Amino acid sequence: MLANFLIGLREGLEAALVVGILVAYLRKIGRSDLLSRLAIGIAAAIALSLAVGAILTWGPYGLSFQAQEIIGGLASITAVGLVTWMIFWMLRHSRGLRGELEGQVDDALRRAGDRSGWTLVVLGVVAVGREGIETALFVWASVSGTSDPLLGLLGAVVGILAAVAIAYLVFRGLVRIDLGLFFRWTGILLIFVAGGVLAYGIGDLQEAGVIPGWGQPAFSLAAVFPPSAWYTAVLAGIFNLTPEPSWAQVGAWLTYVVVTGVLFLRRSRRAPRPSSGPPAERHSPARVPDTADAAP
């Protein structure tokens, strides 16, 4: 539940900030009439994300055990790749996120030809759908190996709701949080969470016979982390801790965490350059909160 709360909070806050910036900019340039178009795109993105989750949950039923394990392993590895990309994307674009989104709105309206603004539907799908699909994949990969998937799903939902509330308060000016610091620390935590999901996916592929070595544990941590202990359940739920991992799982986890962690820490120390001048300054002095305010 805690791992999925974290991914829901992180992805939900990114999506909520994107939506908030787009809505604020449309109001700023006097195009509130296009908010309904943007809402259609956002609704389509949410529906697409739910569809991905449904396919992952019920799609493999009826397949052989080996096929289910292969699909589960590949989906877990894909989820890790997408979340890793998301972590570095936000780290790189945190300062210029508002300017880039506002520029995309301007380009969408300019290419539309008429004043219908239907291109904003596509923008809404792309901007929010990316976060939604990442969330669906990662949450599914995280809960697929647990004994209580509903609890994991609840954690993700609570995280998303908390993210929406935080984003609303930020845009209302009621709270001021260091978004750069927030994304940095959640990025570090997600690297360890993703490492556990990767190891779990490797285990699925080993069970399916795609990767050799299943049933031959590298070592046993059962004495330190007994299966019946509450802290073992917590670590297993958050980081997919396996008391008796295979050598392939250990190698994949260490390689991913060390390489990704080092790259992330190095890049987080560099202040990302702002993107080209945001077009918002041409319209109104109204201030829209931006991740640039607190980027590392």
Q: What is the pTM of this model?
A: 0.69
DSSP per-residue codes, 255-269: HHHHHHHHHHHHHHT
Below-50 pLDDT ranges, the chain:
114, 271-296
Residue 291 maps to a domain = no
What does the block give as tokens for 67?
A: 């096929």
Q: Provide the residue range defining the domain that includes 105.
A: 2-277
pLDDT of residue 251: 93
Beta-carbon-side half-sphere exposure of residue 114 (alpha carbons within 13 Å):
2
pLDDT of residue 280: 41
CA-based torsion, 173, 177, 180, 185: positive or negative? negative
Residue 286 maps to a domain = no
Task: Give the H or E element holding residue 35.
Answer: helix 35-58
DSSP designation for 146: S
Residue 232 maps to a domain = yes
pLDDT of residue 259: 95
Residue 17 maps to a domain = yes
Residue 73 maps to a domain = yes
What does the block give as tokens for 73?
A: 């392993």
pLDDT of residue 147: 62
Q: Measured between alpha carbons, how far is 129 from 42 in angstroms, rounded to an integer?
A: 8
CA-based torsion, 197, 199, 202, 207: positive or negative? negative
Residue 174 maps to a domain = yes
Residue 293 maps to a domain = no
Indicate the length of the chain as a whole number.
Answer: 296
CA-based torsion, 272, 184, 257, 16: positive or negative? negative
Q: Measured between alpha carbons, how far is 205 from 236 in angstroms, rounded to an integer?
A: 19
Determine contact, residues 22/107, Cβ cutoff 8 Å: no
The tally of domains found in the chain comes to 1
Sort 72 into a burial class: Cβ within 10 Å, 0-12 / 13-18 / 19+: buried
Residue 87 maps to a domain = yes
Give the angle subtended at the CA of 94 by the CAs of 88 and 99, to the nearest 5°: 130
Query: What does R_g of the chain's alpha carbons equal in angstroms?
Result: 21
